């Protein structure tokens, strides 16, 4: 008789009353088979008691990653940090107004992150397989046969979450470690003594991701799980269709991408100018720079109708977004490259989310409020205001308990990207009119002033190149998208000609793939290393 592999506390069987509800003998002798037998005929209460804690915790895996000893949360513990770290290894985001040094410089030049024996590589691998492992623990109990036998909608919901979480875990791994030929080892069950697997092919890995995501969609639909403006990281049809669309682009399954994007576009709205653009508000006591987090959607999800998945401050949405993107929180600076800035039309309000002229001296607030900690920073040109907030949600100047800039939300996926993904799939496949799709987004961002044919920097471009440029503008600084797209579009990093970048180096797109961590190589002799 095999012991139940997952601690009962993780499954929700944590009190005597729970055991009494289930009419089982606690706790040491319970087996997987006993639990599954209860689930086969269980009602909502039984299903929730057994599976609720485990399944409800899957959404948190989307924002967490593996801890890295010796490094702070701001660098590597939260997924937001992993996203920003890779964005600095690109053309469009510049780290700091001053020349970066040490670990920051290595990250900026992508000289350490990708190598197998560097400790900063491991969290990317760990994060992907943490997602996979969390999902597979659910599948130890929720087999397809069991879910079909019972038919309880909660079981369908929980299994849908597991399929989606596993799919996203493998998508994350592929975007970082996959090559044109090779994927990653595929595991569909969790055991303490996991039998090692060789890397699957790239095609097989993406086929699995798409299959699992489609299963999640079917299960969510059967369970009555729909779409929502998502401020607590809920797993629903919005997140599932987003993952499906993104995986389909990698697979070059254009029809699937278009269909998934259409569903997202039908269920979410675009932000208007007031929700999108950072606004400088006068201070109550003569402060020079006052940016209220609650004024716009990038720091306050209640003002963001686009949010497919995100987290509010109460759910730890803020940690790394502040550290790397909100210079008003601690002086770290993320700037836009001048070459991209100049391609944003003057009639495009997205340009107002960046300040071309040097920002000047700024004294960062302490973590306890707007009172300064004495650290003065010289904020240079082309600073981003997209994520700027020195007054948190619900705060005001002079109130040291609630004005701290840490009180902000974080949006991970939003519907703007669905327009861009759809337009790309149309341009790549010849299915539909990519410019018509792109015009909806451009019109929204210029208040009807421009379209594809009148946008100055897009004159003479192909439809696909238009999509690429608008993606870089719209999604600047968001979830490593430039990094992934440079890999997917086979675009080299080339900082030549930039007046903002600190180095003029080049990174060929083939070198943007991360090497498999050495620890994995040491424990899995079937692994083939990336070049």
Q: What is the DSSP string of 453-514?
A: TT-GGGTT--HHHHHHHHHHHHTTTSTTHHHHHHHHHT--EE-TT-SS-S---EE-GGGGSP
Same-domain check for residues 215 and 287: no
Output the CA torsion sign for 61, 67, 71, 76. negative
Residue 341, in any domain of the structure: yes
CB 201 within 8 A of CB 180: no
In a 3-state reduction of DSSP, which class is residue 44? helix
> What average pLDDT does this structure show over 52-75?
74
E strand spans, 195-323: 307-311
Q: What is the mean pLDDT of the chain?
A: 86
Domain count, the chain: 2
**289, pLDDT greater than 80:** no
Give percent above pLDDT 90 in the chain: 56
**131, pLDDT greater than 80:** yes
Please tell me the predicted confidence (pLDDT) of residue 70: 53
Please tell me the predicted confidence (pLDDT) of residue 482: 95
Beta bridge partners of 3: 31
Question: Of the candidates 191, 225, 259, which is a domain's last residue?
Answer: 225
CB 71 within 8 A of CB 49: no
**77, pLDDT greater than 80:** no
Please tell me the predicted confidence (pLDDT) of residue 68: 59
Instruction: Name the band, by pLDDT with cuts 50, 70 and 90, for residue 369.
Output: very low
Same-domain check for residues 209 and 277: no
**347, pLDDT greater than 80:** yes
Structure tokens at 521: 């190589």
Residue 84, in any domain of the structure: no
Instruction: Name the band, by pLDDT with cuts 50, 70 and 90, for residue 13.
Output: very low
pLDDT in tens, 430-465: 999 999 999 999 999 999 999 999 999 999 999 999
**6, pLDDT greater than 50:** no
Residue 166, in any domain of the structure: yes
**95, pLDDT greater than 80:** yes
Question: Of the candidates 385, 414, 443, which is a domain's last residue?
Answer: 414
If you search the block for the tokens 């009494």, which residue do you land on? 20
CA distance 358 to 97: 9
Distances (CA, A) of 489 to 265, 376, 428: 24, 40, 11
Instruction: Name the band, by pLDDT with cuts 50, 70 and 90, for residue 274.
Output: very high
**14, pLDDT greater than 50:** no
CA distance 23 to 270: 51
In a 3-state reduction of DSSP, which class is residue 113? coil
Q: What is the DSSP letter of 357?
A: S
Which position has the higher pLDDT, 427 or 503?
Answer: 427
Instruction: Name the band, by pLDDT with cuts 50, 70 and 90, for residue 29.
Output: low
Same-domain check for residues 278 and 221: no
Instruction: Name the band, by pLDDT with cuts 50, 70 and 90, for residue 332.
Output: confident
CA distance 484 to 87: 9
Residue 452, in any domain of the structure: no
Residue 49, in any domain of the structure: yes
pTM of the model: 0.92
Instruction: Name the band, by pLDDT with cuts 50, 70 and 90, for residue 109.
Output: confident
Residue-by-residue DSSP string for 50-66: HHHHHHHTTGGGGTB--
Same-domain check for residues 319 and 221: no
CATH number for the domain harbouring residue 189: 1.25.40
Beta bridge partners of 414: 307
Residue 334, in any domain of the structure: yes
In sequence order, the 6+-apart residues with CB closer than 8 A to the CB of 171 are 209, 243, 246, 247, 250
Residue 162, in any domain of the structure: yes
CA 127 to chain centre: 12
CB atoms within 10 A of CB 241: 25
In sequence order, the 6+-apart residues with CB closer than 8 A to the CB of 448 are none
Residue 463, in any domain of the structure: no
CB 153 within 8 A of CB 161: no
pLDDT in tens, 297-323: 999 999 999 999 998 887 766 666 677
Same-domain check for residues 25 and 163: yes
Please tell me the predicted confidence (pLDDT) of residue 177: 97
Same-domain check for residues 216 and 293: no
Please tell me the predicted confidence (pLDDT) of residue 240: 98
* Domain around 365: 273-414
Which position has the higher pLDDT, 436 or 412?
Answer: 436
């Amino acid at each position: 008789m095999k012991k139940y592999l997952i601690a009962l506390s993780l499954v929700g069987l944590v009190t005597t009353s729970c055991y009494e509800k289930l009419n089982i003998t606690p706790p040491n002798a319970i087996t997987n088979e006993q639990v599954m037998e209860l689930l086969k005929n269980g009602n909502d209460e039984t299903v929730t008691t057994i599976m609720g804690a485990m399944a409800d915790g899957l959404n948190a895996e989307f924002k967490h990653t593996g801890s890295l000893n010796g490094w702070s949360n701001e660098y590597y513990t939260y997924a937001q940090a992993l996203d920003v770290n890779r964005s600095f290894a690109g053309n469009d985001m510049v780290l700091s107004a001053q020349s970066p040094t040490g670990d920051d410089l290595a990250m900026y030049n992508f000289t350490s992150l990708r190598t197998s024996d560097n400790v900063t590589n491991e969290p990317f691998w760990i994060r992907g397989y943490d997602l996979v492992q969390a999902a597979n623990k659910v599948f130890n109990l929720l087999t397809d046969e069991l879910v079909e036998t019972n038919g309880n909608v909660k079981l369908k919901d929980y299994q849908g979450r597991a399929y989606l979480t596993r799919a996203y875990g493998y998508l994350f791994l592929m975007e970082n470690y996959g090559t044109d030929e090779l994927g990653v080892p595929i595991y569909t069950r969790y055991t303490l003594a996991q039998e090692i697997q060789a890397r699957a092919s790239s095609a097989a890995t993406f086929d699995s991701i798409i299959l699992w995501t489609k299963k999640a969609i079917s299960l969510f639909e059967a369970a009555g799980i729909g779409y929502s403006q998502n401020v607590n990281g809920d797993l629903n049809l919005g997140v599932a269709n987003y993952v499906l669309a993104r995986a389909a682009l990698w697979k070059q399954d254009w029809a699937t991408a278009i269909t998934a994007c259409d569903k997202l576009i039908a269920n979410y709205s675009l932000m208007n100018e007031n929700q999108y653009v950072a606004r400088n508000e006068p201070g109550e006591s003569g402060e020079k720079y006052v940016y209220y987090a609650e004024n716009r959607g990038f720091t306050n999800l209640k003002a963001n109708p686009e949010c497919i998945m995100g987290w509010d401050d109460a759910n730890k949405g803020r940690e790394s977004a502040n550290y790397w993107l909100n210079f008003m929180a601690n002086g770290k600076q993320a700037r836009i490259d001048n070459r991209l800035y100049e391609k944003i039309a003057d009639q495009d309000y997205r340009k107002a989310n960046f300040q071309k002229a040097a920002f000047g001296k700024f004294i960062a607030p302490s973590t306890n409020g707007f009172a300064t900690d004495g650290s003065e920073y010289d904020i240079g040109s082309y600073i981003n205001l997209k994520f700027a907030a020195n007054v948190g949600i619900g705060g005001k100047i002079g109130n040291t308990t609630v004005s701290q800039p840490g009180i902000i939300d974080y949006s991970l996926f939003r519907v703007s990207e669905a327009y861009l993904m759809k337009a790309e799939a149309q341009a790549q496949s010849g299915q539909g009119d990519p410019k018509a799709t792109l015009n909806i987004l451009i019109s929204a961002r210029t208040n009807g002033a421009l379209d594809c044919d009148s946008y100055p920097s897009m004159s003479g471009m192909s439809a696909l190149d238009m999509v690429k440029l608008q993606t870089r503008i719209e999604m600047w600084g968001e979830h490593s998208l430039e990094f992934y797209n440079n890999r997917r579009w086979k675009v080299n990093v080339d900082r030549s000609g930039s007046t903002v970048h600190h180095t003029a180096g080049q990174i060929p797109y083939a070198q943007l793939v991360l090497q498999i961590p050495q620890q994995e190589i040491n424990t899995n002799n079937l692994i083939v290393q990336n070049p």
